[in-house]
Amino acid sequence: MNEAQRHHGILSLLEEKQSINVSHIIDAFQVSPATARRDISKLDELGKLKKVRNGAERIVGKKRKWTPLNIDSTEHYREKSHIAIRAAELCQPGDSVVINCGSTAFMLGQQLCGQDVQIVTNYFPLASYLINEDHEDVIIIGGQYNKAQNIFLNPAPDALGGYAGHWMFTSGKGLTESGLYKADMLTAVAEQQMLEQIDKLVVVVDSSKVGQRTGMLFCPTSKIDMVITGKDAPAKVVSALEAQGTQVMLV
């Protein structure tokens, strides 16, 4: 794992927690105390976090959260747009496609909008976009609206049993040879209900997340049919995924 990937992982940890200490970084990334402190100092200098005694705190309100109106300002926009284009090319006329939340997912939905595919989603911004753009076949998975994640959540264990799809595209906070990790448990549990209902699971993550182990394990590599990511993804992780039978596409 290089420094840039480690820095991304540290900032992802701070998205989950208000603060972290040096020990968190040492345990999460298997680095020395000196490296952990140096990472904190560099990110503090860049204004990405606030350095405190023996750790760091999240800077609240500094980063503008992306929305469909400012999608081009999201981190790694160019790479994510290439990923979305490649993912859309997998879908054939008449396919049913499950798309989950996130900026890459939204861009994938933009690519598929207007095509002869059924889009199944619980992601409110994407559903609103598709309806506004008159996409003909949209299924919105119902439930209680979660404002923080902009998704609908249904706590019933078999709530999604009636849905199915040829493809399911999802992202996460980290991807290793062990599988895909997600930071938000509620989102992860909602998506896990769909895993048995789809034919192919495709993970779409930008290369900065490959090699990161952040949050909870959403699904093991054995359940992932394909990964689409950027060319800067660590070769070691890519090889480990392919050795387990997962197809990896680099864009």
**pLDDT-based confidence at 63, cuts 50/70/90?**
very low
pLDDT of 61 > 70? The answer is no
Q: What's the pLDDT at 53?
A: 92
Residues of 175-206 as b/e, b for ≥16 C-beta within 10 angstroms? bbbebbbbbbeebbebbebbeebbeebbbbbb
**Other Cβ atoms closer than 10 A to 33:** 12
Q: To 5 degrees, how large is the angle CA 143–CA 144–CA 150?
A: 100
Distance CA 100, CA 87 (A): 13
Residues of 62-93 as b/e, b for ≥16 C-beta within 10 angstroms? eeeebebeebeebebbebbbbbbebbbebbee
Smallest CA-to-CA distance from 86 within 236, 210, 218, 206 is with 206
User: pLDDT digit string (tens) for 170-203?
Assistant: 999 999 999 999 988 777 877 887 888 899 999 9
DSSP run (H or E) holding 216: strand 216-220
- The per-residue pLDDT of the chain, averaged, comes to 89
pTM over 0.85: no
Domains and CATH numbers, the chain: 3-58 (1.10.10.10), 71-250 (3.40.50.1360)
Do residues 94 and 117 make contact, with C-beta atoms less than 8 angstroms apart? Answer: yes
User: pLDDT digit string (tens) for 31-51?
Assistant: 999 999 999 999 999 888 999
| Cα distance from N-terminal residue to C-terminal residue, the chain | 20
DSSP 129-193: HHHHTT-S-EEE--SEEETTTTEEE--STTTTTT--EEEEEE--SEEETTEEEES-HHHHHHHHT
User: pLDDT digit string (tens) for 97-149?
Assistant: 999 888 999 999 999 999 999 999 989 999 999 999 999 999 998 788 887 77
Distance CA 238, CA 251 (A): 13
